[in-house]
Chains A and B, each alone.
Chain A
């Protein structure tokens, strides 16, 4: 299967600072990438969909100015949590697809803790 690498796996930051999470498709070109948030013992909640070279499409209730997504190349998408607060602490996961209607492969996830 295809490999998606997400970095960092864990990060602790202070309230008010920004954190960037990277998602890379290592052995394929990803036209579409997805960003999810997962709370403990819950399912994955889609935050936004990004297509290479286009602005991300955010799900209802997700603040686009707080969760900045960039998908500037076919192998890299980034999620920046701006002005982080403790309630932003969560497990963030990306996935990547060659095209929108093909299988998606997930990164390892990033555990964000805001103190």
Chain B
């Protein structure tokens, strides 16, 4: 079945450094790739997304890249701040299979002040 792998599971960076989280997906029919940030005890919050007809998208300190041929997509956070500390989930979704969103296992990001 569909699968999304996410690495690393834990990431610790110094404030101001960049953080990169990588995901791969298995279903070639996936065409929508959202990223979510989840803080403790809260629901996931959509922070950025990218569709399969685009290779890169940027929103202030956050950027996402997509390599559809290799089925890779990555989240890049620059100039990290302590408030970026959270769990980040990548996900993949297609137009078939009931439009299910398949989530990665999550990356726990720690930004040290």
Quick one: which of A49, A57, A106 contacts B43, CB cutoff 8 A? A106
Quick one: which of A42, A49, A57, A106 contacts B36, CB cutoff 8 A? A106
Main secondary structure of the interface of A (DSSP, over half): strand
- Stretch from B44-52, B57-65, B66-74, B78-86 forming part of the interface with A: B44-52
A78 sits at the interface (CB 8 A): no
Give min CB distance, A110 to chain B, whole Å: 9
Are B99 and A108 touching (Cβ within 8 A)? no
Cα A107 to Cα B95 with chains together (Å): 23
Query: How many A residues face the partner with a CB closer than 8 A?
Result: 24
A-B contact count (CB 8 A): 54
Q: Which of A82-114 contact B (CB under 8 A)?
A: 93, 95, 97, 100-101, 103-109, 111
Quick one: which of B41, B45, B99, B100 contacts A106, CB cutoff 8 A? B45
The chain A residues found within 8 Å of chain B, CB to CB, are 1, 4, 6, 32, 34, 42-44, 46, 49, 57, 93, 95, 97, 100-101, 103-109, 111
